[in-house]
Structure 1
Amino acid sequence: MENALIIGASGGIGTALSAALETRGVAVTPLSRRHDGIDLTDEDSISAALDPLDGPFDLIFVATGGLEIDGQRPEKSLKELNAKALADQFALNSIGPALVLKHAPRLLARDRRAVFAALSARVGSIGDNRFGGWYGYRAAKAALNQIVHTGAIELGRTHRQSICVALHPGTVETPLTARYARNHPTVPAPEAANNLLGVIDGLTPAQSGQFFDWAGKPVPW
């Protein structure tokens, strides 16, 4: 791997991914809202950040996402649903990564193995949902998974060595996840980043379009 583009490079996982890749000698192009003004809820902002890039990149990693948006906590019941919170979840967690994926065919290397990866979450799995709740976040991540799966089919037609996947990083230690982790084991961001890169290293084009956890195990849709 020679070149990587990290979207959301100022976040916990994005920062750790950038650092881990640079340690490997990979040239990293980091983009974030904090440092570069890229706003995944604004297509013009995404285009302004990505259009000047030439690539080709061996890895495009969308490390963005949000569980609480504008202070709205995950819903515990149907009576807590509201249209704005649902729209905000889809805008950030599914539409934004989809608009980045829109640029992937131009930016990904065609003559060698190239990976597009997006952070998803196990709670976005319909097959694994046993507890309910968290309607907006679950639905937005499920939509992201479908976008990744569909995008993988199209990418495979023009980029025969491409891999397009959704990845679950586990529960990463942040002030936000501390509120929701309960008894779930958590990992520091650098460990999570290395786990994810390890999964990416082991993937083949035959696995494109799938959803994997931090240990490389498939997650049910």
Structure 2
Amino acid sequence: MENALILGASGGIGAALAAALETNGTRVTCLSRSADGFDVTDEASVSAHLGALDPGFDLIFCATGGLQIGDHGPEKALSQLTPEAMAAQYALNCIGPAMVLKHSTRLLPRNRPARFAALSARVGSIGDNRLGGWTSYRAAKAALNQVIRCGAVELGRTHPQAICVALHPGTVATDLTRRYLGRHPSVSTEEAAQRLLSVLAGLTAADSGGFFDQHGTPVPF
């Protein structure tokens, strides 16, 4: 039986991932702020929770993140930027997953295939940015993609069969994103989870360090 660890398991996508994996017969360990006090923005919390786990996870999925943090929503123009909002975006969407990667590599097996994935977003792509706006969120996700790339290079030296990737889940209808969907077509959290797991199942170690959308198509950095 495979073992999976889902960080941010109380969120829409995280909960759907956990449910889909359990349905497939995977043993799932879940951590979240609401259920376990797991605070991805606090390295001490990340270290304590992950340090209490035993190695042997075939999949570690960091499904934490947020588009609106407190009263700060996505900016429509540079004039709306504030240091506080930018720092909050980096803390949640980049630094948090980076600390998860830092403290979870020991949990991945070295002698068999293993996967580490973090939720990114297509709007974090520099090469695909033609609209501007949402600067803090975009920048934090772009930084996350670089963290994943660096992590993949380092993991490749010690875990040659490991895959470390950033994934774009598509436009997903969750409580956190519903107000920003507008007329964009969206998918349910359940469908998004199934797509992401399908993408992970189709990747090989040669894909490690990449950024992929919900269909498995590479997204430009």
Structure 1 length-normalised TM: 0.98
What is the 5 A alignment of 1:168-187?
168-187=168-187
Q: CA deviation at 1:48?
A: 1.1
Q: Which amino acid aligns with 2:210?
A: Q
Q: For the Cα contact (< 8 Å) 1:41–1:96, is it kept in 2? A: yes
Structure 2 residues without counterparts, runs of 5 or longer:
none
Contact 1:120 1:167 in 2 (8 A): yes
Partner in structure 1 of residue 18 of structure 2: 18
CA distance, structure 2, for counterparts of residue 82 and residue 220 of structure 1: 27
Structure 2 match to 1:58:
58
* Offset at residue 181 of structure 1 (A): 1.5
Distance in 2 (alpha carbons) for counterparts of 1:91 and 1:176: 17
1:120–1:166 contact (8 Å) kept in structure 2: yes
1:185 Cα offset (Å): 1.3
Taking the aligned partners of 1:34 and 1:175, their CA distance within structure 2 comes to 15
How do 1:2-151 and structure 2 match up within 5 A? 2-151=2-151
- Equivalent residue of 1:176, what SS? coil
Residues of 1 paired with 2:16 and 2:178: CA distance? Answer: 19
Deviation at 1:147, TM superposition (A): 0.2
Q: Which amino acid in 1 is paired with 2:139?
A: A
Alignment-mate amino acid for residue 5 of structure 2 = L
Shift of 1:167: 0.1
CA distance in 2, matches of 1:51, 1:19: 24
Give the gaps of 5 or more residues in structure 1.
Answer: none
8 A Cα contact 1:104 1:116, kept in partner: no
Q: Using the alignment, how far apart are the partners of 1:168 and 1:105 within structure 2?
A: 22
Q: Which deviations, in whole Å up to 9, do the C-alpha atoms of 1:30-84 show, x marking residues without a partner?
A: 0000000011111001111110101210000000101000121111111111001
Q: CA deviation at 1:145?
A: 0.1
AA matched with 2:75? E
User: Within 2, Cα distance between the matches of 1:199 and 1:105?
Assistant: 21
User: Helix, strand or coil for the counterpart of 1:179?
Assistant: helix
- CA–CA distance in structure 2, aligned partners of residues 189 and 92 of structure 1: 20
CA distance in 1, matches of 2:214, 2:15: 17
- Following the alignment from structure 2 to structure 1, what is the Cα–Cα distance between the partners of residues 164 and 176? 28
Identity of aligned residues (%): 67
The two structures, once aligned, show a CA RMSD in angstroms of 0.8
Query: Separation in 1 of the partners of 2:178 and 2:84?
Result: 25
TM-score, structure 2 as length reference: 0.98
